[in-house]
Structure 1
Amino acid sequence: MNSVITAKAADIDVPVLIVGGGGAGLTCSMLLSQLGIETLLVSALPTTSILPKAHVLNQRTMEILDDVGVAEPIFAKSTPAENMSAMGWYAGFAGPDPDLGRLIAKLETWGCGYTNLNWMQASPCRSANLPQIRLEPIMKARADELNPGRVRFHHELTRLEQDGDGVTAWITNRDTGTEYLVRARYVLGCDGGRTIPRLIGIPHEGLGVIAQTATAHISADLSKLARDPDVLIRWIWCPAIGEMAVLVPMGPDHWGPDSEEWVFHVTYRGEGPKDLTDEQIEKNMRLALGIPDLPMTVHKVTRWALEGVLASRFRAERVFLVGDAAHRHPPTGGLGLTSGIQDAHNLCWKLAAVLKGQAGESLLDTYEAERRPVDARNIQRSMENSMAHMEAGAAFGLNPGASAKENWTQFRRILSDKPEDAAFRSGALRAIRRLSMEANELNVEYGYRYQSAAVIPDGSPLPEPTDDIRLYEPSTHPGSPLPHAWLNDESGQRLAMKDLVKPGRFLLIAGEEGQNWCAAAAALVAANDLPIDTVRIGHIDGDLFDPRLAWAQFRGISDKGAVLVRPDRVVCWRHVGASRDPLAALSGALGAVLGRSFREGVTNTPELVPAK
């Protein structure tokens, strides 16, 4: 076979080949289909995930999944809000000692069931909780619906070659053993890093493996033992093994203590569980939880590394890394899958704009510039969360080398009211309070700001956060996610700000006296066939109304100013007030974002109202 295959020799010619059918790959497929871009998705795996992992879906991620039409079925199967409003720490789980199963502390998580006002202010979508084993089939069904016959599992990419015009990929249908060639303009590597990074020569960097974890996916009736129906994640102090363990309900039909399925995690120091048999891991689980004879079905035992790594680059010519192929996180904080879905959201509108001739090729360079720093921070937070849990175990006096009696002796100091135990008790409770950041990191989820050629600085200083992790303070500072607000139209119908941004389209939001900005945008559209919508928002005047001044509070412009929002709902430019030449200002900003120039006919503008 020739080393270079021409497009004519390929069996399939497609603008975008997506390699990998997990959360990131399926999101890419849905987004690009929605944008009118033909794709082929291939996954080496025979099915979607068989593991109940990566279950937390944060608000920003649910907004994206809402865009592609899967939020409603996800929420229908997700943990109800009232069953995921807290995390709890417990003194063991079950057993003869009256203190076993005793609640040590409880903290709010992920907006406390969408009752925390900060979280309600951040988004019209609440967080969800649905393990990948049930999430991915929903996503795949929608991807199939949007792109029939072009979502192919058990089709493995074995080789690829790039040239100046595109990429040629060799795909093997593992069901039949036949090989076929695919020719694509671009390839998205969403395969978890199994193949694509190696084929394009991109290494990963990071701290590597810091610990080893064993996970058991079980069916068992724990309803008489698990307490607190509001608790999603139970951190269990296990004196018998000297480690902290985690117990999480997995549904599928009931949640809280009545959940039919559960996952049990325990992280081992040192060599960990790699030499333990499944039977030994089950025995350790029963010992840790104090349920030696409880009937259960063990569906699967897995062993995995607690690691945080980041690809040195997110792009090699026409191949892009997305999701776990670009970064891998510890699960603490739920930032892994959500980061991958947000990678896809950032990249896909840019690919569509380039393929449709709306943007220059340079727009694609902004993907790595924007996402890599955000993903690096998410990895750091995931690692910090994991380390904080290990430190909490130490603060509780847990020692894997000690006997259960010795561990109990240390633990009872937390319950003691003796003066000599006060510092120990205070340190243990402080360690738990510190862990509030794991499921209360709203500023990590929303407070990032992209910096690239696709974001035009306005010269204003970056806002100083009150709390860099926990407290999200919405802003239209260029590079920020568009703040959320509930708006009304003239009939009083309520609209979410996010829904004003249509797939693949920019949105110019002007103040109530911003007619000139809207006229300038209309001129740009007429002369260049650009995908721009416009709206004026005010409390009394405008096209839409801001009844609670939710938008006015964060818009950062006057009634004569304007904000330009990209298709991924990121603010890319703003002008605080009026301009004597709004057309030049807007066309210059949009041209810089899209990496292109506009036709001279753009100067034929509608009549503008003189700026005051």
Structure 2
Amino acid sequence: MAETYDTPVLIIGGGPVGFATALDLAWRGCESMIVEREADGTQEFRAKATGLDERSMEQLRRWGLHDQVLEVGFPVDFPFDTVYCTSLTGYPMGRSLNPSIREEIPPVGSSEKRYACPQWELDKLLVESATASGLVEVRWNSAYGKITQDADGVTTEIIDAATGESSTIRSKYVVASDGAGSAVRRSLGIPFEGPQLDFSLNITIRIPKLELPEELARAQRYLLIDEDGTWGVLTHIDGREIWRLTVVGAQDELDADTYDHMATVRRALGSGDIPFEVIRCVPWRRSQSVAATYRQGRVFLAGDSAHTMSPTGGHGLNTGLGDVSDLGWILEAALSGWGGKGLLDAYERERRPIGLRNGRKATGHYRQWVDSSNYVGVTQEGPEGDVTRKRVGDMLVEALKSEWHSPGTALGFRYEGSPIIVDDGTPEPADDPIDYVPTARPGHRAPHVALSDGSSILALFGHGFVLLRIGAADLDTSAFESAGAAAGVPLRVEKLDEPAVAEMYERKLVLVRPDGHVAWRGDVMPDDAAGVIDVVRGAAATGGS
């Protein structure tokens, strides 16, 4: 008799990565359940992640949330500049120019622009969309207890936060997205490896009306600098009246109850005449850590439970959404029965190197912030001080280019050496954070091309594998189709006779995975089409499904 499960996939942690996982699974037709220890995660005022890179915006469009994010995010005419200054009413030193959404041009190879949306607004959209699917059950006020695994599934103990009563949930798989202090990760004994960078403090404030001198006005963030270097950053969270002041560089944990946040805000503003309201004050630890493994049996780590990084560059949430993109189709394949035994292992092989990569980049940016050398004289009045401020400003504008503009980081990642990618022998291109060079090389994200009907080629990808037949009317692809059907793999052929696609994709045949990454390409059919299908569904290395 078949075992009965409470849910195919249990997701522990109802933050943006947890609900994005549920939403992606629902988009693929898979049921899931989320347990979250808070009473209602949409009610907390989180002034945390705001930046959504080009790849994340592609995912949000896939889930039908792109336009809704634009409605609740930053005003489209608000510039994303960064100003380097002693305070908001003090000495300006320089400005990194970054255009508004209206002025921004998507990078070649993407249909999307980067964007900024307050996390509390994004959280609401994810929760509403996931629950509206009818495939996601949410249990608020439910804390994680412990996990027991066996050959057929996972039994998870959940504790009602209000009553203390415990219950169990039986599932085939568990996704732990319960944050940097992940109780699931710790209970499984998975090491969290990497350096602690400092202790920081976020002060969320409301400034109803802020009028600044022209040279300091209309920027998304202000790096606050004194003789010892950068001591804080004031970031516009919604482009209207909510700000987050982050105090950086402390080597000991800061106590929110005793910290003089009012004086610190006045120091940042540079004036006692600007009215403001403190909404909340939260200490946190800045670190660059990655879990030693992203998977233990049927349990997977995603988001901050798998990796933490300095928010410098805005890669944390975007890296978590990348985890979702990879894990969603892998779990769908496992639940549907066409994924091979090696497919689950591929998640860690593909995503852990990206967590390491993005963490290194973020730490590099942060070290530029807190470098305490060559800042003497920035607060000095007169011509000598002006010369010092210009030198420091010019230095930071140049040093932080890739922090404020990083399409290469967002779009240029690749799954090099993945066991479910068929290498075509072409050399790996440079991984430059700024300069993204689109490519359809196996392991890379399939790049955007505008089709003749005005749509993006990316709209073809997501449900099952897609074999692009590009200007190749004489090629018989039936062997791929038959192999896919025999293995139960959803696969369809898209015939495209478009010069722009041929130029970008460089081969007549390109096999694209459900997550939009290229799995295989060639100008002729492979000798063993069934063998290629087995590799990309994770069955080749294990000798079967």
* TM-score (ref. length: structure 2): 0.91
Q: Contact 2:93/2:393 (CA < 8 Å) preserved in 1?
A: no
Please report how far the alpha carbon of residue 64 of structure 1 lies from its aligned counterpart in structure 2 after TM superposition: 1.1
Given that 1:43 and 1:153 are in contact with CA atoms closer than 8 Å, whether structure 2 keeps it comes out as yes
Q: Is the 8 A contact 1:308 1:330 kept in 2?
A: yes
Q: Does 1:569 align with 2:529?
A: no
What is the alpha-carbon distance in structure 2 between the residues aligned to residue 211 and residue 74 of structure 1? 32
- Secondary structure of 2:535's aligned partner: helix
Mark the runs of 5 or more structure 1 residues left unpaired by the alignment. Answer: 1-5, 95-99, 398-405, 540-545, 598-612
Q: Which residue of 2 aligns with 1:609?
A: none
- Quick one: which of 273, 279, 282 aligns to 2:254? 273
Name the residue aligned to 1:542. Answer: none
**Alignment of 1:195 onto 2:166:** no
Could you tell me how far apart the structure 2 residues matched to 1:485 and 1:230 are?
Answer: 34
Give the 5 Å matches for 1:160-239. 160-192=147-179, 193-208=181-196, 210-225=197-212, 231-238=219-226
Residue 415 of structure 1 aligns to a residue whose secondary structure is: helix
Instruction: State whether residues 217 and 261 of structure 1, in contact with CA within 8 Å, keep that contact through their aligned partners in structure 2.
Output: yes
What residue is the counterpart of 2:242 in the other structure? 261
Instruction: Give 3-state SS (helix, strand or coil) of 2:284's partner.
Output: strand
Give the drift of 1:369.
0.3
Q: Tell me, what secondary structure is at the counterpart of 2:539?
A: coil
Q: CA deviation at 1:587?
A: 2.4
> What is the CA distance between 1:430 and its match in structure 2?
2.1
Distance 2:270 2:524 in 1: 69
What letter matches 1:179 in structure 2?
S
> Is 2:256–2:283's contact at 8 Å kept on the other side of the alignment?
no
CA distance, structure 1, for counterparts of residue 93 and residue 429 of structure 2: 38
Distance in 2 (CA, whole Å) between partners of 1:69 and 1:531 is 22
> How many Å separate the matches in 1 of 2:68 and 2:217?
23
Q: Which of the numbers 435, 444, 455 marks the counterpart of 1:495? A: 455
Q: Distance in 1 between matches of 2:147 and 2:434?
A: 43
2:435 counterpart residue number: 471
Verify the 8 A CA contact 1:124 1:496 in the aligned structure 2: yes
Report the Cα offset of residue 407 of structure 1: 5.3
Going from structure 1 to structure 2, the CA distance change for 1:415 and 1:585 (only over 3 Å counts) comes to farther
Q: 1:471 to 1:175 in 2, by over 3 A?
A: same
Is 1:358 the equivalent of 2:358? no
Q: Deviations over 1:183-231 (max 9, x none)?
A: 11111011014310011110100012x2221211111134212756652
Instruction: Tell me the distance in 2 between the aligned counterparts of 1:247 and 1:343.
Output: 29
Q: Are 1:396 and 2:375 matched, yes or no?
A: yes
Q: How far apart in 2 are the matches of 1:411 and 1:26?
A: 54
- 1:554 partner amino acid: M
What displacement does 1:515 show? 4.7
Kindly tell me: are residues 32 and 232 of structure 1, through their superposed partners in 2, closer, same or farther at Cα, counting changes over 3 Å? same
Identify the match of residue 57 of structure 2 among 44, 59, 62. Answer: 62
The match for 2:543 is none
Tell whether the 8 Å contact from 2:461 to 2:514 is kept in structure 1 after alignment. Answer: yes
> Which protein, 1 or 2, shows the higher relative CO under an 8 Å CA cutoff with sep ≥ 6?
2
The AA in structure 2 aligned to 1:478 is P
Query: Residue 88 of structure 1 contacts residue 104 of structure 1 at CA under 8 Å; is this kept in 2?
Result: yes
**Cα contact 1:88–1:106 (8 A) shared by 2:** yes
TM-fit CA distance, 1:516: 2.3
Partner residue of 1:313 out of 285, 293, 315: 293
**TM-score, normalised relative to structure 1:** 0.82
1:14-38 Cα deviation digits (max 9, x unpaired): 2111101111111110111121222
* Alpha-carbon contact 2:226-2:379 (below 8 Å) kept: no
Paired with 1:44 and 1:523, the residues of 2 have a C-alpha distance of 47
Secondary structure in 1 matching 2:436: coil
Deviations 1:59-80 (A, max 9, x none): 1011112212222211111113
Q: 1:272/1:487 Cα in 2 relative to 1: closer, same or farther (>3 Å)?
A: same
> 1:553: which partner in 2?
503
* Matched-pair contact (CA < 8 Å) for 1:62–1:127: yes
Within 5 Å, give how 1:331-370 maps onto structure 2.
331-370=311-350
Check conservation: 1:217, 1:300, Cα contact below 8 A. Answer: yes
Task: Tell whether the 8 Å contact from 2:421 to 2:519 is kept in structure 1 after alignment.
Answer: yes
Q: 2:124 aligns with which of 137, 140, 151?
A: 137
How far off its partner does 1:520 sit?
3.3
Counterpart of 1:441 in structure 2 is: 406
1:596 aligned partner: 539
Deviations 1:314-372 (A, max 9, x none): 01111110000000111111100111111011011011111111111210100000000
String of CA shifts for 1:145-201, please: whole Å, max 9, x gaps: 113661122111211111111110111222444322111111101101431001111
| Conserved 8 A contact 1:243-1:266 | no
1:16 aligns with 2:5: no
Q: CA separation in 1, counterparts of 2:461 and 2:198?
A: 43
| Separation (CA, whole Å) in 1 of partners of 2:528 and 2:104 | 40
Instruction: Letter of the 2:222 partner, please give it.
Output: R
> Counterpart of 1:573 in structure 2: which amino acid?
W
Structure 1 residues 345 and 149: alpha-carbon distance in aligned structure 2, compared to 1, 3 A threshold: closer
Moved more, 436-445 or 308-317: 436-445
The letter for the 2-side match of 1:56 is: G
Aligned to 1:607: none
Cα separation, 2, equivalents of 1:34 and 1:497: 19
2:489 to 530, 543, 567: 530
Helix, strand or coil at the partner of 2:190: coil
Contact conserved, 2:32 with 2:136, CA < 8 A, in 1? Answer: no
Structure 2: distance between partners of 1:229 and 1:487? 40
Distance in 2 separating the partners of 1:394 and 1:411: 21
Identity of aligned residues (%): 27
Contact 1:92-1:238 at 8 Å conserved across structures: no
Could you give the per-residue CA deviations for residues 229-279 of structure 1, whole angstroms, max 9, x where no partner exists?
65212223357x97432122223xxx2xxx22211112133326337724x
User: Residue 436 of structure 1 aligns to which amino acid in structure 2?
Assistant: K
| Residues 195 and 180 of structure 1: CA distance in aligned 2, closer, same or farther (over 3 Å) | same
Q: Tell me, what secondary structure is at the counterpart of 1:337?
A: helix
- The answer to whether the 8 Å contact 1:517/1:562 transfers is no
Choose which of 232, 237, 248 in structure 2 pairs with 1:245.
Answer: 232
- Structure 2 distance, partners of 1:214, 1:226, is 27
* Amino acid paired to 1:367: Y
For 1:447-492, what per-residue CA distance to the aligned partner results, in whole angstroms no more than 9, with x for missing partners? 1210211111111222245xx221000111110000111002xxxx
Q: Which residue of 2 aligns with 1:605?
A: none
The match for 1:601 is none
Measured at CA, do residues 149 and 433 of structure 1 come closer, stay the same or move farther in structure 2, by a change above 3 Å?
Answer: closer
Aligned residues: 535
The answer on 1:415 being equivalent to 2:386 is: yes
In 1, the alpha carbon distance for the partners of 2:438 and 2:100 equals 20
The question of whether the paired residues in 1 share the 8 Å contact of 2:84 and 2:94 is answered with yes
1:510 matched to 2:472? The reply is: no
The residue that corresponds to 1:543 in the other structure is: none
Separation of aligned partners in 2, 1:156 and 1:533: 42
Gaps of 5+ in 2: 541-545
CA contact (8 A) 1:44 1:154 kept: yes
- The 8 Å contact of residues 110 and 448 in structure 2, kept in 1 or not, is answered as yes
Q: Kindly name which structure, 1 or 2, has the bigger radius of gyration based on alpha carbons.
A: 1
Equivalent position amino acid for 2:255 in 1: K
Q: Deviations over 1:384-427 (max 9, x none)?
A: 11111112x64333xxxxxxxx75228964523xxxx6xx8546
Q: Deviations over 1:92-147 (max 9, x none)?
A: 212xxxxx2x54222234x7637555x33232121121122221011111111113
Say whether the 8 Å CA contact 1:205–1:309 is kept in structure 2: yes
Partner Cα separation in structure 2 for residue 138 and residue 573 of structure 1: 35
2:23 & 2:367 partners in 1: Cα distance? 36
Q: What's the CA shift for 1:289?
A: 2.0
State which of 26, 47, 59 in structure 1 corresponds to 2:19.
26
| Structure 1 Cα separation of the partners of residues 333 and 357 of structure 2 | 28
